[in-house]
Every structure is written in structure tokens, then in C-alpha cells.
Amino acid sequence: MYFSLVPNISYDEKPISYPFTDSDYVTAKNFFRRYRINEDVFSYAVLFKQYAIVDGDRPDNLADKAYGSPFYDWVILLTNNMVNAQYDWPLTNFELSKTLELEFDDPYGTIHHYETYEIAQYSAGLHVDEEFYNKIHKLNINGSIEIKNGNEICRPVTIAEHYTAENEKKRLIYLLKPAYFRQFIDDFRKKNLYKESANFINRRLKQTG
């Protein structure tokens, strides 16, 4: 479905040896023509609803539930600006555990970074180093100067905790509401038609090189 809507491009295949002759042209899908959603559109609740991906969800089976066909998986990927589903889609808890155990010697005991609590001038989640964690700090709390140990201001975050948190962020996506689904498909089709130019052959094909 997706590939049938992506336009073609005819490019010249350069000769590889002397003497040079006229180039032959090869036709392929124009994947350089990237359709990207403006992230401001997600503020329009009328168009999208938030969805939390659970273990077992895949773009194809989620598209089947949302739009009646697994072949509309690309709609979910495009409307969430996902370039590569292998990396942009969250891992299952089992996949994440296996990946951590394969890539790291001790992901559950090794510190990845230190992260601040929300206290005084520090906001929650600020990354700091081990030196900060081990130091003593003077904080202005409600107009009073207080002495705090670094471990009262921030906490160690293990490799496993870090990658789990990053994976969880990927779970929250936006699903285009069915009422606007057909309009999106039509708009995608129109945006993938070429306008007349020097390289124009037809609305679905242009030449380059």
C-alpha cells in the first residue's frame, strides 16, 4: 500500500568504463521524498488520540485494529515520525531484558548516570556526574541556606533503569482518529504527486541526473 503511493524517480546509471556512452536510466521509488508530520498538529486533540503501546503490539496489528487493515501500518509510523520501526518502536520487556544482558556485563548494577531530584534550583531529571553526587552543596531553600549531601539532591541511575525509561517513552504514541484517516491518505497521495518542472515526466515520475 505505502509503496504504491510513493512516486518514482528515473536516474541515470553512469557507465563504469571507457569509452563513455549515453547513460541508461533506471526507475526506482523516490524514498528521498520524505513526508513529515508537523509536531504542532499533535496539539489538536480532535485529530489524534494518545495510545500506550503494550507488549504484543506491532505497527501492523495495531493498524488492523485502528484502520481495518495491517497494510496501513505506515500511517501509524508516519504520523508519529518514526523512520525505522526496528529502533523507534518500543521493545517488549522480554526483548529489553535480553538486549541489556547481551550488551552489558552488569546492567542492573552499573551506574549509567546520576539524576537530580526536584529540589531548590534543581529540576527533576537533570543529569549530573559522580563528582556532583559525592560533593556537599549549599542550597537556597525557601530563603534559607541549607547544606545537603549530593546523595540528597540526586540519585544513581543504573544502565537498566536508563534504558527502561527510554523504552517507556516510546510507548506513548498518537493514533489518527478513524474519522480523519481517509483525509490523511488522500493528502499523502496528493503530496506525493510531482509538480511540473524541468525534470517532470508525469505526476508520478520525474527524471534526474
* Ranges of each domain in the chain: 1-33+192-209, 98-159
Confidence of residue 3 (pLDDT cuts 50, 70, 90): very low
Q: Determine the Cα angle at 190 with ends 38 and 182, to 5°.
A: 75
pLDDT of amino acid 26: 62
Distance set, CA 109 to CA 68, 160, 162, 165, 167 (Å): 45, 8, 12, 16, 19
Cβ atoms of residues 199 and 206 within 8 Å = yes
What three-state secondary structure class fits 115? strand
pLDDT tens track for 125-172: 999 999 999 999 999 998 899 999 999 999 999 999 999 999 999 999
pLDDT of amino acid 89: 96
Of residues 188 and 110, the one with the higher pLDDT is 110
- Identity at 105, one-letter amino acid code: D
pLDDT of amino acid 66: 94
Q: What is the largest CA-CA distance in the chain?
A: 83
- 113: enclosing H helix or E strand: strand 111-116
